[in-house]
Chains A and B, each alone.
Chain A
Amino acid sequence: MKIEVRKVEAVKATAAPPV
């Protein structure tokens, strides 16, 4: 069997725009 590899997305935390 082939081992399936799946990408995992970056985790981004933001603050509201300053203005």
Chain B
Amino acid sequence: MSGTTVPLRALTLVPEGDEVVVGDPETGTFVTVPAVGGVVISALRRGATTDEAAAEAEAFAGEPVDVPAFVQVLTELGFVDDRTGEEREAVRTAPIQFRRWMGGVSQRPARPFFGPVAWTVYAACALFSAGVFVVSPSLFPQPARDAFPLGDIGLSALLLAPFALASTALHECGHWLAACAAGVRSRFGIDRRMMLLVFETDLTQVWTVPRRQRYAPLLGGLAVDAVLLSLLLSGRLMVQAGLWTPPPTVDALLAVWVYVKLTGMLWQCMIFLRTDLYAVLVNALGCRDLWRVKSLMLRQAFGRLSPGQAAELARASAADRRAGRWFRWVWLAGFVGVLGWFAFFLLPVIVTVLQWTAAGLALGPLTGRFWYSLLCAALLLSPQTLAAALAVKEYARRFRQRA
């Protein structure tokens, strides 16, 4: 090993405090090392031999540094180029997702949308919306009244689905565009949060940029939401003030869209579901692996920590353990809360839809009601069905790994 050079992949190094975030953007694998690790990697990248790198590291740290062991870890992480030239796949972060990273728009055209002026506009939109709800509380969504703008519940649900889908797509495009502006590649996927199906943008490559530049990609979705919500509320304000007199259905549609947007924005506050604001929190607190550390610390609280897990927890970063101390309880309370919400609010709706569908199907395929029931049920229940299927698949895989 002594005195050889080590060919490294195109790694990114981002100094952060007394650590360096090192990673291979292509596979989406990132780690942190102390500053001396950054010295070794920088030396190896220049073509220094392991002996030369060790000498530089010793001069930096003031004591001998075990470079061969470090190179061994880098090799295990896939950071050393094995010169096979084979294409490597990115680490999977969602059950359904694109294998390739999306480039898309280059930095220059995307940048004005996420400069200081743009963020001021997005913040103003959010404040405007909050102000409208305070000044004119009647515009605040009332789900029972607003969610079904047309007399027919089935037809309302059918109408709601395309808007909810478009609104979701725009939110994800906000993340993607903000990532483009930061020079970060991303990719889309579908994941679940407990029993809920969600669209997801993999932004793991934000670890390739300095900490302050990570906020824009993380908040890009909410920025789009804020603009849309303020536009919808402006429309409703104009109707209320008599400046605009569209057919009543238009105002009812605006109301249902306000309901969908606001629900989506409040959803982001549920950080225990690993939402956008969870990622913002991780970045603000300087955490590294909070989601895992939270699970370990919860096990610790209930005395369910295996020796291997205890060792893993002992190696966790101080920031993770500090945040994990309280975040584990936020997560547990949120988990129980969502389970309760599912049992008391969502499950009865699903049962009602199933009963309504069964009644329609009983009429036989020669009736219009049969096909109408089938279509509505498919649209209403397919997300839950897919989420349940993904969950079963995931638990089966875990069970097999244990066996």
Q: Which residues of B contact A10 (CB under 8 A)?
A: 28, 91, 93, 202, 204
From 224 to 272 in chain B, residues with beta carbon under 8 angstroms from any chain A beta carbon are 263-264, 267-268
- Distance in angstroms between the alpha carbons of A7 and B317 in the assembled complex: 10
Asked if residues B289 and A8 are in contact (CB atoms below 8 Å), the reply is yes
With both chains docked as a complex, state the minimum distance between the C-beta of B65 and any C-beta of chain A, in angstroms: 6
Asked if residues A3 and B33 are in contact (CB atoms below 8 Å), the reply is yes
Q: Which of A2, A11, A15 contacts B168 (CB 8 A)?
A: A15
Known contacts A8-B31, A8-B288, A9-B288; A15/B198 CB under 8 A: yes
Q: Which residues of A contact B34 (CB under 8 A)?
A: 3-4
With both chains docked as a complex, state the minimum distance between the C-beta of A16 and any C-beta of chain B, in angstroms: 4
Cβ contacts A to B, 5 pairs, < 8 Å: A3-B66, A10-B28, A12-B204, A13-B201, A16-B263
Task: Verify if B134 is at the interface (C-beta below 8 Å from A).
Answer: no
Known contacts A5-B37, A6-B31; A12/B264 CB under 8 A: no
- Distance in angstroms between the alpha carbons of A9 and B214 in the assembled complex: 14
Known contacts A10-B91, A14-B191; A1/B61 CB under 8 A: yes
Known contacts A1-B66, A3-B66, A6-B32; A13/B221 CB under 8 A: yes
Asked if residues A12 and B61 are in contact (CB atoms below 8 Å), the reply is no
Task: Verify if B154 is at the interface (C-beta below 8 Å from A).
Answer: no
Q: Which residues of B contact A11 (CB under 8 A)?
A: 202-204, 206-207, 214, 218, 279, 282
Q: Which residues of B contact A13 (CB under 8 A)?
A: 172, 175, 200-201, 203, 217-218, 220-221, 276, 279
Known contacts A1-B63, A8-B31; A15/B204 CB under 8 A: no
Residue of A nearest to B32 (CB): A6
Task: Verify if B15 is at the interface (C-beta below 8 Å from A).
Answer: no
Asked if residues A14 and B198 are in contact (CB atoms below 8 Å), the reply is yes
Asked if residues B193 and A14 are in contact (CB atoms below 8 Å), the reply is yes
Asked if residues A7 and B289 are in contact (CB atoms below 8 Å), the reply is yes
Asked if residues B161 and A9 are in contact (CB atoms below 8 Å), the reply is no
- Distance in angstroms between the alpha carbons of A11 and B191 in the assembled complex: 13
With both chains docked as a complex, state the minimum distance between the C-beta of A5 and any C-beta of chain B, in angstroms: 5
- Distance in angstroms between the alpha carbons of A10 and B40 in the assembled complex: 25
Top 3 closest pairs, chain A to chain B, by CB: A16-B264, A16-B267, A8-B30
Q: Which residues of A contact B291 (CB under 8 A)?
A: 9
Task: Verify if B347 is at the interface (C-beta below 8 Å from A).
Answer: no
Q: Which residues of A contact B288 (CB under 8 A)?
A: 6-9
Asked if residues A12 and B32 are in contact (CB atoms below 8 Å), the reply is no
Task: Verify if B345 is at the interface (C-beta below 8 Å from A).
Answer: no
Asked if residues A9 and B292 are in contact (CB atoms below 8 Å), the reply is yes
- Distance in angstroms between the alpha carbons of A13 and B273 in the assembled complex: 11
Q: Which residues of A contact B204 (CB under 8 A)?
A: 10-12
B69-102 interface bits toward A, Cβ cutoff 8 Å, 1 = contact, 0 = none: 1100100010000000000000101100000000
Most central of A2, A4, A16 by chain B CB within 10 Å: A16
Asked if residues A17 and B21 are in contact (CB atoms below 8 Å), the reply is no
Asked if residues B201 and A19 are in contact (CB atoms below 8 Å), the reply is no
With both chains docked as a complex, state the minimum distance between the C-beta of B237 and any C-beta of chain A, in angstroms: 24
Q: Which of B175, B267, B289, B380 contacts A6 (CB 8 A)?
A: B289
- Distance in angstroms between the alpha carbons of A14 and B174 in the assembled complex: 11
Task: Verify if B196 is at the interface (C-beta below 8 Å from A).
Answer: yes
Given contacts A1-B36, A17-B193, 5 further A-B contacts (CB under 8 A): A3-B34, A3-B69, A6-B32, A12-B200, A16-B171
Asked if residues B289 and A9 are in contact (CB atoms below 8 Å), the reply is yes
Q: Which residues of B contact A7 (CB under 8 A)?
A: 30-31, 288-289, 292
- Distance in angstroms between the alpha carbons of A17 and B380 in the assembled complex: 12
